[in-house]
Amino acid sequence: MGRKLSLSFALYFGLLLGLCFSASAQDAKSVLQSASKAMGDVKSIQYSGSGHVGALGQAFTPGGAWPINDIKSYTRTIDYGSKSAKEEMTLVEPTPIRNGGGGPFAGEQKQVNLVSGQSAWNQPGNAAQPAVAAAEERQLQIWLTPHGFLKAAMENNATAKKGKGGTVVSFSEGKFKLDGTIDSQGMVTRTETWLPNPVLGDMPVETDYSGYKDFNGVKFPTTIVQKQGGSPVLNLTVTDVRANPDLALTVPDNVKAARIPPVNVTNQKLADGVWFLAGGTHNSVLVEFPNYAVMVESPLNDARAAGVLAEARKLIPEKPIKYLINTHDHFDHAGGVRYFVAEGATLITQEMNKGFYEQAWKAPRTLDPDHLAQSPKKATFVTFKDKYVLSDGGRELDIYRLPGDIHNVVMSMVYLPKEKILIEADDFTPPPPNAPSAGPRSHAGTVLLYQDLQQMKLDVATIAPLHGFVVPFSELQKAASTEVSSASK
Ligand SMILES: [Zn+2]
Quick check: 25 and 157 in contact, CB under 8 A? yes
The range of the structural domain enclosing residue 478 comes to: 266-488
Confidence of residue 314 (pLDDT cuts 50, 70, 90): very high
Beta bridge partners of 78: 45, 85
Q: From the CA of 475, how far away is ligand 1's center (Å)?
A: 21
| 395-401, strands of its sheet edge to edge | 387-392, 395-401, 412-416, 421-424, 462-465, 471-472
Average pLDDT, integer, range 85-112: 77
Question: Pick from 192, 224, 256: which residue ends a domain?
Answer: 256
User: Does residue 303 lie in a domain region?
Assistant: yes
User: Does residue 430 lie in a domain region?
Assistant: yes
Q: From the CA of 60, how far away is ligand 1's center (Å)?
A: 9
Helix 473-481 vs helix 443-456: crossing angle, to nearest 10: 120
Phi then psi for residue 270, to 5 deg, are: -95, -30
- Smallest CA-to-CA distance from 446 within 417, 488, 399, 414 is with 488
Residue 481, CB-side half-sphere exposure with 13 Å CA sphere: 6
Type of residue numbered 429: T
Q: Read off the pLDDT of residues 174-193 as tens digits, 9 standing for 90 and up.
A: 999 999 999 999 999 999 99
Q: From the CA of 331, how far away is ligand 1's center (Å)?
A: 8
Q: Which helix (H) or strand (E) holds 236?
A: strand 231-243
297: Cβ contacts below 8 Å, ≥ 6 apart: 282, 283, 284, 285, 324, 325, 326, 327, 333, 423, 425, 466
Q: From the CA of 360, how far away is ligand 1's center (Å)?
A: 17
Confidence of residue 441 (pLDDT cuts 50, 70, 90): low
Q: From the CA of 330, how far away is ligand 1's center (Å)?
A: 5
What CATH number is attached to the domain comprising 196?
Answer: 2.50.20
User: Does residue 455 lie in a domain region?
Assistant: yes
Confidence of residue 142 (pLDDT cuts 50, 70, 90): very high
Residues 98 and 67: their CA atoms lie apart, in Å, by 6
In terms of domains, do 235 and 356 share one?
no
What CATH number is attached to the domain comprising 474?
Answer: 3.60.15.10
Q: From the CA of 19, how far away is ligand 1's center (Å)?
A: 47
In terms of domains, do 42 and 135 share one?
yes
315: exposed, middle or buried (Cβ count in 10 Å: 0-12, 13-18, 19+):
middle
The count of residues in the chain is 489
Q: Going along 279-314, which residue ranges are E strands?
A: 284-288, 293-296
Biggest CA-to-CA distance, the chain: 89
Residues 395 and 320: their CA atoms lie apart, in Å, by 16
Average pLDDT, integer, range 72-88: 98
Q: From the CA of 368, how far away is ligand 1's center (Å)?
A: 24
Q: From the CA of 131, how far away is ligand 1's center (Å)?
A: 21
Residues 64 and 62: their CA atoms lie apart, in Å, by 6
Q: From the CA of 479, how far away is ligand 1's center (Å)?
A: 19
Looking at every residue in the chain, the average pLDDT score rounds to 92
pLDDT of residue 95: 66
pLDDT of residue 486: 43
pLDDT of residue 355: 98
In terms of domains, do 320 and 399 share one?
yes
Domain total of the chain = 2
Confidence of residue 433 (pLDDT cuts 50, 70, 90): confident
pLDDT of residue 443: 83
Sign (positive/negative) of CA torsion 33, 35, 37, 39? negative
Confidence of residue 394 (pLDDT cuts 50, 70, 90): very high
